[in-house]
């Protein structure tokens, strides 16, 4: 049988906070497993309580015994390499920030579907999903204004872009 090592008062308090934190489900579940083991429950009992495999429970306990509280954080791998390089991503963002009519399209605003169609038509990319376009724009700080167009979110504009000229005070209405 495997059990978690003796917990200090500080570790126990941090584990209890982490177990109650529902924003990070992985850390919360791992903390609950460690606390249950500290209470003397066996791996099969914890697995039944937490609705996970006995192997997962043992893995979490081993990790905690080796790494301590750092083991609560999941170690995500790098994942699949990106298909589109920085230059292609910059072109996608530039297109989203340009009015469609300036690029020769009949629309007044962009949607993800229209951006997808335009990117292929203009030869910027051969095939791209709407979700990839959304992620590229999100990374660049560009979001959709409902009924208007794509625009940069505050504070995310690159420093080298020129600011918009100030409004003409004679043309503004009181």
Helix (H), strand (E) counts: the chain: 7, 2
Give the other-Cβ count within 10 Å of 32's Cβ. Answer: 19
Give 40-88 pLDDT, tens digit per residue: 999 999 999 999 999 999 999 999 999 999 999 888 777 888 788 999 9
Q: Is the pTM of this model over 0.85?
A: no
pLDDT given for residue 160 in this prediction: 46
Name the residue ranges covered by the structural domains of the chain: 9-72, 86-152
| Res 165 pLDDT > 60 | no
The string of DSSP letters for 133-161 reads: HHHHHHHTTEEE-TTS-EEEPTT-S-TTS
DSSP secondary structure code for residue 84 in this structure: S
Q: How many residues does the chain have?
A: 174
Q: How far apart are CA 100 and CA 96, in angstroms?
A: 8
pLDDT category at 145 given cuts 50, 70, 90 is low
Q: What sign has the CA pseudo-torsion 66, 68, 72, 77?
A: negative
Give 123-135 pLDDT, tens digit per residue: 999 889 999 999 9
């Amino acid at each position: 049988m495997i059990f978690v090592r003796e917990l200090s008062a500080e570790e126990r308090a941090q584990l209890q906070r982490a177990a109650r934190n529902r924003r990070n489900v992985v850390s919360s579940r791992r903390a609950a497993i460690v606390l249950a083991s500290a209470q003397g429950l066996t791996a099969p009992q914890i697995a039944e309580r937490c609705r996970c495999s006995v192997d997962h429970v043992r893995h979490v306990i081993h990790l905690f015994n080796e790494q301590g509280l750092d083991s609560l954080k999941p170690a995500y791998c790098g994942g699949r390499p990106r298909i589109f390089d920085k230059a292609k991503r910059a072109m996608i963002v530039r297109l989203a920030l340009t009015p469609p009519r300036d690029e020769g399209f009949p629309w007044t605003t962009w949607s993800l579907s229209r951006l997808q169609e335009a990117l292929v038509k203009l030869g910027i990319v051969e095939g791209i999903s709407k979700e990839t376009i959304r992620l590229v724009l999100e990374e660049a700080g560009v979001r959709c204004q409902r009924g208007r167009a794509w625009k940069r979110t505050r504070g995310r504009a690159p420093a080298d872009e020129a600011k918009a000229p100030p409004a003409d005070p004679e043309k503004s209405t009181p």
